[in-house]
Structure 1
Amino acid sequence: MQPKRRLAVLRTKFIPPLQRSSMIYRPKLMKQLKQIEECPLTLIHTGPGYGKSSALSSFLDTSDKLSCWYSLSKQDENFFHFIVHVVHAVREKFPHFGSELIEYLISGEVEGWEEELDYICIEFCNELLLLKKPFVCVLDDIHITERSELVKDWLQLLIESAPANVHIVLAGRVRPTWDVITRRLLNGQLLELTETDFIFSNEEIDVLLSDVFNIDCTPEELIEIEKATEGWAIALQMLGQQWKEHGEVQAVLQDGLETTDELFRFLTMEEFSRQPEEIKKFLLETSLFEEFNEKLCQTVFEAVHAGNYITHLIQQNLFVVEIGKSQYRYHALFRDFLLRQLSKNPILQDNLLQRVACYYKAAGDYEKSLEVYMRAGDYREASALLVHEGIRLLHNGKMEGLMVTLDSIPEIMKDEYWLLWYLEGEMNRYYSKFEQAMTCYRKLEELAEEKQDAEGLSLSMEGRAQIYLDTIQPVKAQPYLQKAINYMERTNTSVERKVRLYSLMSENLLNLGEVKEVESWLVKIQAVHPEYKNIELESRYLLRTGQFHTAKELLQEAKLYEKDHKLSSSHREGDLLLSLLNSLMGLTEHAKKQAEAAIVGGVQRRSPFVEAVGWARMGHAVQLLDDYDPSLAIQCYETSLKLMSDLKMSRGKSEAYMGLCLLYGKQGEYDKALRIGKVALEEPERVKDRWLSGLVQLALALVTFKQGDLIEAEKRLNGCEKTFRSCGESFGETVTLYWLSSLYLRQENSSAFKKTITRCLTLIQKHNSQFFFSNKTLFGPTDIQCIPPLLLEAKTHQVEAYLVEPLLAELGFAQLASHPGYTIRVQTLGEFQVWLGEDKLDEKGWKRDKARELFQLFITRANQFIAKSEICHLLWPGQNEEDASRDLKVALNAMNKAIEPHRKARQEAFFITREDQMYGLNKEASIDIDAHRFIYYIESGLEERSRKRAKEKLVKGLELYRGEYLPSRRFDDWCIELREQLFVLYLRGVERVAQISVAEEKFDEAIRWCEQILTEDSCWEEAYRLLMYCYYCKQNRTQALRIYERCQQQLQDELGVAPLETTREMWKMIKEATEKIYLSHL
């Protein structure tokens, strides 16, 4: 079962800033904020110190509407952290809100957040709709989302989809540049407040100074204060505080400060300098914490009067914000000032930093402790901490922080704390910087050798071995692993370390194909740690011994891939393993999805080796897809090869070269395929990886088989069988025996055929590998319809019935006497073409035009039988019954000969069946019609709720539409209805893709799709509306208005109607916006 994600919910982030006595009621601002209750979206953006959060909090206090509040922080760059907290923010007011959504989020089932954004947003909005009551949702400090594309994308979806009862408020320091905000603005659905709205007016300054600070000002003084502070709230607070206490405001106003920033710094210094020494000390101490409380101050700084100091600061209105019960923070600007002041006293700063670091260390927050030690420049303490906690932090995925820390620690300190060299080597290895990693391990070896330290020597050998394991070079890894184990056994080491090294040895022996030795090391592991289970190693063992089902179950149950492990395991990652397994088993979509996940994971964790292997696995999946584009598969493999070249990893190229060998072989480029296959074989042969060598040899054998060189193919296949048997790989042996059986059948070598097919079917039954006959797999036949004739021949050769008959029954051919051995592929959209397996049926093959037309009729009526009389009427209208019947018989015979050229005399036709006087396509036959796939992709794409998945399906379908249905039969009544249905479906599909492109703000792409619609149907009004909107968003209002004129003219000319009201409304909106812009420039 998939382990659940864990996340502590910090509820203080749901509390708006508490109201202070230094606040005044601002009627004008409150009146503006009152509009929040009527507007779907409110955007508030100002610099720091303008009081936006306090004003919002004050408004919510007076509002009778329910509301939730969430203050974003740096942690919200992580989408999971963000979305869970947003849901919990609403749950503060509605405890049962989003229970199922929370369960889904923490379940660990989500593999990629990008694909789930739509779903999560829809579920969130559906839950909001159930609330029914008007509800205000405030997200404060929204500028933090600029660092997270996922959070930004989700928020834009939320703004578009939120129900009418919800009013979203986004408050931050910068204005988001999202087109969805522009759309809300254009539709009059946006309330926007800026710094101008929060600036204190002359009258408000007077009220603030009078009511809060008991200061009466003359009109002249008010004008000077307004000029000096520019109505900036935080500066007014400081000025009022100093005036109230010291009566020195004139000195401030006459100081000649030119900007409000300078004024704030001056006022802050004045205020700070006049505080008692113990308060100054307390301010400097507590500035080191983002948040603090009385207990924390007493613990870290021994400030026994911390409670009194905090009370004093609150009474003085000295920029202390209460963020929860007895929990406080300083205003950001004031904290920055305090930290600058502290830096002027290095001795005090270092002393305080040491205390803070020790506090975090004692609390078990080693990451923060390390950060503070490094800030203090205490490399010794930082190094000592890394020795004890570095590996744990590394395994918890704290990669970037650790790398920065290690780069900053002087080499002399690393030499003293030699484990740091191992840690740095591991960091470089995980980032696929193998040369730098090797340098670190060698440095460790030198130091450990000097000190005769067996543990250090063992770690250095292990690190070097791991590099060769990562890059699958088992021969090179073997001696280092043996040395690592030898050194380790001289020390009083832990059970965990023994298990780790024994597991690495097992894995390496597996790469060498030494299955028996692997089993002996697994026994050693169990002896040391009976309860230990290495899912990764066991799944690779199962993969390399052909036990695919068990390997898949193991990986899926454990969900090894990246949910619990933050670090890359190179080619051994769960996603990569599952992708390869699924390609070998013919589960193409799963293989593709897992390859994508591996690539994304490699990029995110900056592991180019994982990314490179992921691209190779993607190439395998792509070439198994229906309607695959060979150039796309080639691009995947070439991307993998380039990444491997950048890493200088020749060993890692073999799998990509193997994939290209298979691909070019399928395309008939045999010389190129053989040349690349030989290159693929070099590295695994050199490093003695027998399993991969066997797979590459098999790829080469398949190319020679397709090429027709059966002697060379037999030689290569026999070599493959020997290799796979020697390393205990049952699946490779099964596949090899299948191809040998096909070869002997073609050579009419009955005895050899019976022997190999019997062994093949025995292995399939033993290892439950029936998928090889039912799915298109990486090393299987391109057209699996060539398998039934093979099984029928096995039956004829009296192979045991228990081996043959269950497979024929599973494939649906239990009662079958013969089978042509191929799929018919039909292209009806655009030029009509037919392929018999991989062979194209040319014009001459039809013999008669009526034979081709008859086949086209059957294809058009694919799901029904047609009466003989109706066929005669449709194809030979006006002829008498006897002549038409005669011509039908001739055409039917010619058609069957065309689509079944190797059918024996008097053998029943397979693809066309007859029932009494009715004819039609055989439902058991494999006939692939492009129009059917087009309908499936477009209809499923139109129904799909996820934009990303909808677009993928729609584009896939649209690629099939190469032109109208059976253009050569344009005037035949029997195909008009289907032609028109397909055409309308095509326009709807293009329209939906254009709409999605607009939602994704890909306006140029949307314009291309819309023009494509209008090329086919110049009166498709939605295309005009989308074009108008796209040009408007591109700031080309003139072109947008021209599109309307074009629409108006076309509708009038073609249909004699005016544009719809929705089209006219859009025209009015664009025209009014254009006029406003023109007038603003006058």
Structure 2
Amino acid sequence: MAHSPPIVRTKFVPPLPRKKLLDRPRLTEALDGIADHCVTIVQAGPGYGKSTALAAYLAGNRAPAAWYSVSGEDADPNIFIAHLIWSLRSLCPSIGGRSLAILEERYDHLARNDAIDLLANDILDMIAGDFVIVIDDYHLVGGNPEVSELVERLINTMPSHCHVVLLTRERPSFGSLARWRVKGEALELAEEDLAFTGEEISALFTGIYDYTVTPDQVDAISERTEGWIIALEMTWHALREGASFDSLLVKPQASLASVFDYLAQEVLVKQPSHVVEFLIDASILGELEPEVCSLVSGRDDSADILSKLSASGLFVYMTSSGGYRFHNLLKDHLQRLCRKDLARWVDANRKAADYYWETGEGLQAVDHLIAAGDWEVAAEGLSMIAAELVKSGRYDALAGRLGDLPGTALEAYPDLLLHRADVYRLTSDYVNALAWYAMADEIFAVQSDNAGRVRALKGKAMVYLDTVQPAKSEELLSEAFALVAPDDRLEQAALLRMMAETKTNEGQIQAAVEFARSAEQLINQAMEDELDIRVHLRTGRLSTALDSLRRRVDQESRSSRPSRSHRETQLLLSLVYSLIGEGDKARKCAEAGIALGRDLKAPFVEAVGYMRLGHACHISPSPGAPDAEECYRRALEIADQIGVARGRAEPLMGLALLHAARGEAALAEKEAREALEICQSAGDEWLAGFVQLGVGAGLASSRNDLQASAWLEAANETFARCGDEYCATVCSMWLAVLAMHRQEDEGRLKGFLEILFRDLGAHSYEFLFTKRTLFGPPDLGALAPLLIEASRLGVDREHVDWIRSVTGLPELEY
């Protein structure tokens, strides 16, 4: 005979409705759906008022209900069925007799299935009209597969006037759930359905709690608590006991300790130790993405832990982006636990900072460095992204981080003071702007950094130009002009232009014109400084151009801040590096050019930076780097925005190269023809040759030989006229490839090969065979047949054998 379990009758008593309870029409309407579904699943974490809300609803609507609050011991299937039957006896005292008799006689799976089937029959025969069976805290028993099967069996066999409601923290794993959903038999409510809206929070405080709150305070409460009822209650209790609103919601005080004690007892203490440790480590994060969670926690099962926590409703929920988040209050509690071990807190934040730097999320990296107390590293990182924050209008983001940094860190990176001053000026807080510019000026003066002082003085002058106080701006600009390095003509020109604006504001138009003319002359002189390097570049003397550019970088690095001409250096360097196959270096220089263009508010410079970044990404794609086509299109967008048609030619060439290599010949030729028209209009034959070579190389790599030949022949003629030995050599290389593709006669092929290897040796262009270059093939293996055929035909045998050895092809036959 099976054991008959004792019945704990207090489990059948629903929570008593509160004397003062807010009328929530939105929630009432949702719960009205219970009568239209065979099963309702209300899934939410602790403290969301699941039981209270449902009990109040059932009491208010006078719907007959059998309430069963389960405990952990009810996971025993016999105990569960017995208590379920006794809960129903509150509606019908004689129900379930046959079922209980079977359980007393047998203790096996089949007996329990029979007991459920008999109970379903009793419900049909003994209870008339719609009624509800409530199983509260179902998650405590739903983990037992047999209990889950028994409940599912009851739902599938019970009559339609019976409605089961499961209140749970974890989603049940019923096999029939999908079918119930499709047939419209399942109603599912979640935390967002139970959480209080802003309107409900306002009504709760002003009505039930009799505590007046402003709309801003309601917003703050809503953001802080996310409508979590237990947090709303504790907030009210704390306010009633004298806690100030600001201190309560900005920095959690001890008056909220009971909330966190509740969480620790109800959630954390019941979790496996490894999950608790994971939660503590991950609490430093905003978005709980598996990869970064694994990094900070040192675990390799982060995705599994997060998925299970989310499914269980334990305050980790999935965001619209597919990541996870903590509930704010639980996160605060976990962070306090993490902070108790300072070394752990610091280590986790440093790991997170490294991760976010690697993924290009600089602001998040800075946040973690600040949290770790790595003030100077945080200041350095913030200085790298401050200009972009200002440019994109994220003033509060910058101001907030600056406010978190101590004065010593700001003194070490006075550029941050300038950016903070810029924010004040752009938001018309001129008093603070002047104060911060002055602080920066003082620090730059102590450091003997004249370039920094110039920027600070210019900033102060801009304040007076903005507010039309020319006398004050004129004095500052004169002081700044005296500090500018003699060779920094572009900075001098910028100051002269500001002086021209000052004279205009003073009504001295003739003086303004003279200043403007002087600025133009300085810009022309600065452009002439680039002439020698440009000549080297456009005649194919790449090594000489590279040496000159590197020397310039070295000279500029000795100053505390690069002069404005540094932008040209970086952009030219990027192009040269792309031509010689140094993709990573090309990318870094292009990115530096883009950053300087933004810093100088020079959109054309930024556009050129994107063109060169496109070249770099084309020859050296890497994870996290932008797509080459994306870069070219961004360059076109900027050129169009500023109305500089000349700026379209190079990115169009890049697009033509990409599309031709993909076999999109018609599109590539259309882009090339547009670029050629621009070059011809500007009189730039060399750039026209670039366009011809780009589309020709792309077409050749995609085996569009006939079209490629025409473009490459044209390019070869163009570079012969321009005297560019490098591009002419690339043309010879591709023409030789085409000759092999088309199996032209040996004499013609040998002629191409002789020209090719002669020029390779004369100008040290052997890297064309060892590195992926801008106009070279995507797969260097495409050039191997040239080496083999050159050996066979006896072309420059010693030189060819050497190239074959460094490319690893000495034994390969074609």
Please classify the TM superposition score into its range, dividing by the shorter chain length.
0.3 to 0.5
TM-score by length of 2: 0.41
